Amino acid sequence: MFSKILIANRGEIACRVIRTARKLGVHTVAIYSDADAKALHVEMADEAVHIGPSPVGESYLRGDRIVAAALATGAQAIHPGYGFLSENPDFVDQVVAAGLTFIGPSAASIRAMGLKDAAKRLMEKAGVPVVPGYHGEAQEIVLLASKAREIGYPVLIKARAGGGGKGMRRVEHPDDFSEALSSARREAKAAFGDDRVLVEKYVDKPRHIEVQVFGDNFGNAVHLYERDCSAQRRHQKVIEEAPAPGMTSALRKAMTEAAVKAAKAINYSGAGTIEFIVDASQGLKADRFWFMEMNTRLQVEHPVTEMVTGTDLVEWQLRIASGGRLPKTQSEIALAGHAFEARIYAEDAARGFLPATGTLHHLKFPEAAPDAATIRIETGVRAGDAISPYYDPMIAKLIVHAKDRQEALEALGAALSQTEIAGSTVNTAFLAALAADPDFCAGDVDTGLIGRHQDALTGIAPPTGAIISAAALAASGAEALPPSNDPWSSLSGYAHFHGVARRTRLKFGEDDILAKVSIRADGRFQVALDAPYDGANSHDLRVLPRLARWPGHVTVFEGAVGYTFAVPDPLAKSDDAAAASGSLRAPMPGLVKLVRVAKGDTVIKGQPLLILEAMKMEHTIAAPHDGVIAEIATEGAQVTDGTVLVRFVEDQNA
């Protein structure tokens, strides 16, 4: 076993690797950028090395600096985590050339599976079924469009490099092919440095089911069963589970055998995942699955496999990379129970899952799951940390395990309802809604489920009068009564002969809310809300809902929903310029990738104006109303959240 390893990653996966290394007595070296100088993974590691500025291209993608850090600290091996350089064969070559061990597959294996088109040709030769489509080298638009017509619409354009849904577009009609191809290529180039694509048949009711495989350097390979990752938004996984609901013994046998065959075809060593697309339109059948791609690394969702198989996959990685054999044979790996993983992101589900930033002023995860269920939190942040625009906005992975799917699903819903995050827009309400969706609960899930139910899943009921009143109480400085229920000792501002009223102003979205908070003779507070909200609400402070105060705000938690109210400073002057309706502001920090209109152009409501790239994904900014462009951001401009992107002519007749 190694005595010291360097972790070439950040966030929750770096923390995850550190925990297992610590258990095995292995010392760890963290790396960090300027933005991560005080990050949790830096604090947890035995040593830490600064490798550059915040942008990934100047830090976490600098293989030369990472290798130098490993050599300088005496590390014997490098664990890549996932993302960044984890599937970069050139980096593996750098590591090996420096006399270090790469904790993962060989560069040859990564190259064999790194490009989707070449991987599919290899799998065809190995007898593994692949999706019908064009996987060739030629990239002329005329040829690709012709192949799409031959395959038959709808088709899926996919970047041949990378993953995570980036560079992927579904195309329903030939007229839309050119625009979708251009968009996919731009996104792929930005994310992976490679704009080449392949074109495949789009499966009508696709299930995304993947198989965890593991190989060693002695020719052995096993599978650790399957995971279902069909619950996706924008081609990115949201909730994963193991085993797959509705899985038949025939399909499991066929898929796991194909997965092991794929791993052995490239002499694979370490943790890997074979991803399959399954046609569920007629149920799960053994002849209706096809190879999509192989991820030659540990997956984000690996904890669900660990929970149902009783394994530590990071420990397996370390043991195999240090020269050991597979810890278990295939017959020794058994399934037990059911597990879910929910990815908690800083994002606005109601606004098309736009990434969000902010400081996590309040962060509280459930400590225990109900009954016999087990809960596990994987995170790389603490309360007070900031969600940076430079990296993936994941806050945590919430994993639950129970004896069967129903109990695990109930535990997932309960855990999400107990999670409290304030300071950034998060997706906990969306996750809870998905976990309660009737089709999802029934296991009738495919990759289009979220898209079909998106309005219901992302819609949040407006705050009730009770929630608003609780926010007003918190904003007014009220505190809960102590066990003695003595208002004399607990209520600031109490007057003996008359009630004390305090006016409080809140903002919820665009709404201004005025409330009057009074102290009653019985020691309770009464809150009167101005129209259009309901009238008086009396609240016993001992049953106030969960809430968090943070600078200028109050967040009230109702189940998995966090209602955040701004508490305006009564001494601050209003910013009339910021409130003007003649401008369009950036919804998130990002790069202006493409501008489609020019100053003086007349536009109509819904017309695309520009494309903003944030966190390696493209977001179309459309006109909110008809108008004439007075000013528009320039291509290549880096903007922050709230930056004015477009100004409209206020009076077209002026």
Q: Which of 196, 233, 297, 319 is catalytic?
A: 297
Report the greatest alpha carbon distance in the chain: 90
Q: Rounded to the nearest 5°, which phi and psi values hold at 116?
A: -60, -40
Amino acid residing at 393:
P
User: Which residue has 């085993």 as its token pair?
Assistant: 243
Query: Cα separation of 63 and 48, whole Å?
Result: 16
DSSP conformational letter for 350 = G
Find, among 318, 267, 264, the residue nearest to 106 by Cα.
Answer: 267
Q: 466: which 2 tokens?
A: 């009770």
Query: Cα separation of 470 and 557, whole Å?
Result: 10
Q: 229: which 2 tokens?
A: 């990752």
Do residues 582 and 647 make contact, with C-beta atoms less than 8 angstroms apart?
yes
Give how far Cα 551 sits from Cα of 475, 587, 608, Å.
11, 21, 36
Do residues 261 and 128 make contact, with C-beta atoms less than 8 angstroms apart?
yes
Find, among 410, 380, 355, the residue nearest to 233 by Cα.
Answer: 355
Give how far Cα 66 sits from Cα of 84, 209, 490, Å.
12, 34, 56
Give the contacts of 581 (CB within 8 A, at least 6 positions apart).
Answer: none
Beta bridge pairs of residue 158: 168, 198
Q: 308: which 2 tokens?
A: 């149902």
Whether 297 is catalytic is: yes
Q: 427: which 2 tokens?
A: 């997706």
Report cis status (omega within 30 of 0) of the bond before 462.
no
Q: DSSP strand E in 501-643: where?
A: 501-508, 511-519, 525-529, 536-539, 546-550, 553-558, 561-566, 583-585, 590-595, 602-603, 608-614, 617-622, 627-632, 638-639
Dihedral sign of CA atoms 277, 280, 281, 285 in order: positive
Count the alpha carbons within 13 Å of 571 in the hemisphere toward its beta carbon. 1
Query: Cα separation of 466 and 539, whole Å?
Result: 8
Give how far Cα 454 sits from Cα of 237, 425, 560, Å.
15, 17, 17
Beta bridge pairs of residue 612: 592, 619
Do residues 32 and 326 make contact, with C-beta atoms less than 8 angstroms apart?
no
Give the contacts of 176 (CB within 8 A, at least 6 positions apart).
Answer: none
Concatenated DSSP letters for 604-616? -TT-EEEEEEETT
Beta bridge pairs of residue 99: none
Q: 242: which 2 tokens?
A: 């193991």
Do residues 530 and 515 make contact, with C-beta atoms less than 8 angstroms apart?
yes
Q: Rounded to the nearest 5°, which phi and psi values hold at 263?
A: -65, -45
In terms of DSSP H, where are the helices of 266-312? 302-309
- Please identify every residue annotated as catalytic: 297
